[in-house]
Each structure stands twice: as structure tokens, then as C-alpha cells.
Amino acid sequence: MAYCLDGLKQLWISVATWCNTELSSSKQKQLPTGLKNPQAIARETVFSISEVEALYELFKKISSTVEDDGLITKEEFQLALFKSSKKHSLFAERVFDSFDRESHGVLDFKEFASALSVFHPIAPLDDKID
């Protein structure tokens, strides 16, 4: 369990670092293409609208590493975490399954954003216990 939490912390640090870089480097960017309703996602998560937009950029990047279909597969998820799909990782699998609430085997942006929201350091504790 401690190992699992460490991994999640790592994942969060990469996401946070990536978001910060992205947010500060592109002040006057337009709305990312394909993101239809950042307000709705922002309402349901701990993220602000600009964070949702930055997360969407990250989502697009991860979801297009193997096939650019707007969905993250387990293989793409593992590539994003470990830069390798060869090493089978139980950790990546567990995290993926906890993100994939509807058990479709793929993650859409909403699942991705709400899962990261639950693991967000400032998320209410109740959400994490749920």
C-alpha cells in the first residue's frame, strides 16, 4: 500500500510539474481543440478551468501515444507512467483499474480528470475514502 501511494505521489508530481510548465508557457492559448465543456469538468473536480485545459492537453498527449483515438488504453497509461510498455507493472494496472470506474478498459477525459481530482492533495478526505 505504501508503495502504491508513493507511485501515486510520483504520478501527481509529474502531472503538477507538467501543468505548471504548460500553464506558464502558454498564457494566451486558445481553448484546446476537442475539449467541449471545461466548466462542467471544473465543477465536478477540484480543478480550475485553466487546470482542466492543461490536463486536457496532457490527456491528449497520453491518449495519442499508441493510437490517437481520444481514449487512454492500459498500454498508453503504462507508457506515460514508466516510458515503457514492455515491463508488466501491477502498479500501473491497479492505478488504471481505479481510474477506469466503468471498467471499459479505456479512460476518457472525464474519468481521467475525476480520478486525478480524487488523488489531488487538496481533495476533501471524504472523496478519497469513498
- Residue numbers at the binding site for Ca ion (CB under 5 A): 63, 67, 69
Q: Do 102 and 111 form a contact (C-beta atoms < 8 A)? A: yes
- Nearest distance from C-beta of residue 27 to Ca ion, angstroms: 29
Question: Residue with C-alpha cell 484546446?
Answer: 32
- Closer residue to Ca ion (CB): 6 or 67: 67
- Closer residue to Ca ion (CB): 101 or 128: 101
- Closer residue to Ca ion (CB): 42 or 71: 71
Region for 103 from its dihedrals, namely left if φ exceeds 0, alpha if ψ lies in -120 to 50, beta otherwise: left
- Nearest distance from C-beta of residue 122 to Ca ion, angstroms: 29
Query: CB count, 10 Å around CB of 89?
Result: 16
Long-range contacts at 78-82 (CB < 8 A, ≥ 24 apart): 81/7, 81/11
- Nearest distance from C-beta of residue 77 to Ca ion, angstroms: 10
- Nearest distance from C-beta of residue 73 to Ca ion, angstroms: 5
Q: Do 112 and 99 form a contact (C-beta atoms < 8 A)? A: yes
- Closer residue to Ca ion (CB): 42 or 79: 79
